[in-house]
Amino acid sequence: MNRKSVSFAVLSGKGGVGKSNLALNICCGLHLRGRKVLLIDCDMGLANMDVLLGIAPEKHMQDILINNQDPADILLPFGAGGRPGLDLLPANSGMADFVDLDAGARSMLRDKLNPLAAEYDFVCMDIGAGISPTVLNFASMTTLRLVVITPEPTSLTDSYALMKVLSARYDVTDFHIIVNMAESQAEAKRTFNRLAAVCKRFLGFAPSFLCEVRADRGLTEAVRKQRPLMELAPRSPASQDCMTAAEKLEQLRSALPAGEALGAPLRNVSAVD
């Protein structure tokens, strides 16, 4: 197969920063640019991508583990107007037993997902917030990692902690920052610079700036209507910024070699699981 499949994790140190909405709309942006995209809801405890899209899946990611379900049979297309090439692999919410998967379950998921992932240009993993073993392991599997932050001090603190733990346990030091809910480009750059300076001083590396996503009232309306903002209001400020993120991801993809979309974790951390 000639397709080069690149995976990216969308993650955050804390909840409430708009991570899932950004993952959804960036995927829509990539699809509008002609890419085949798979969106995987990897929040195994509090999945909400189906709610954002107003759909009620009969099967979920957990069925891969429980019933040995083929991931291809769980896919739900959600491209605007029925356009093919934009698919969701949903997860179920409120299943506490799946919040912290053991190493064997995570490895099984990766092995089951890779053949499907190879059929797409981009694979987006919308990962739960925080620093649980499952979050860290999923984030270490992907080719790229997008960390969503907001200008709030708590967001900066928790995102720093997330990158610190991923660096210490998995040797991951490449992160791309999206500043969400920014009132201006200047505020976004100030927010990023504060985080980057702390990382460089105390962790020995600095993340890169991917883009800002401006505060946009249209996002609230899109959530209420259970439709992607990119579909509901493609010219809105946040939609334009998500398209910028999609363009940046394409640039990053062009510089990467071909390989498995989801790789093994960079370090064996079974002792800390």
What is the CATH topology of the domain spanning 6-263?
Answer: Rossmann fold (3.40.50)
Q: What is the pLDDT of residue 271?
A: 28
Q: For residue range 151-210, what is the model confidence (pLDDT) as tens digits?
A: 999 999 999 999 999 999 999 999 999 999 999 999 999 999 999 999 999 999 999 999
The answer to whether 222 touches 229, Cβ cutoff 8 Å, is yes
Q: What is the DSSP-derived secondary structure letter of residue 235?
A: T
Per-residue pLDDT of the chain (273 residues; tens, 9 = 90+): 345 889 999 999 999 999 999 999 999 999 999 999 999 998 876 778 999 999 888 888 888 888 888 989 999 999 877 789 999 999 876 555 556 677 777 778 888 888 999 999 999 999 989 998 888 988 998 999 999 999 999 999 999 999 999 999 999 999 999 999 999 999 999 999 999 999 999 999 999 999 999 999 999 999 999 999 999 999 999 999 999 999 999 999 988 877 767 776 544 333 233
Q: How far apart are CA 18 and CA 84, in angstroms?
A: 26
Q: For residue range 97-116, what is the model confidence (pLDDT) as tens digits?
A: 556 677 777 778 888 888 99
The answer to whether 96 touches 83, Cβ cutoff 8 Å, is no
This prediction has a pTM of 0.92
User: b/e per residue, 239-254, with b = 16+ CB within 10 A?
Assistant: bbbbbbbbebbbebbe
Joined together, the tokens standing for residue 240 give 């334009």
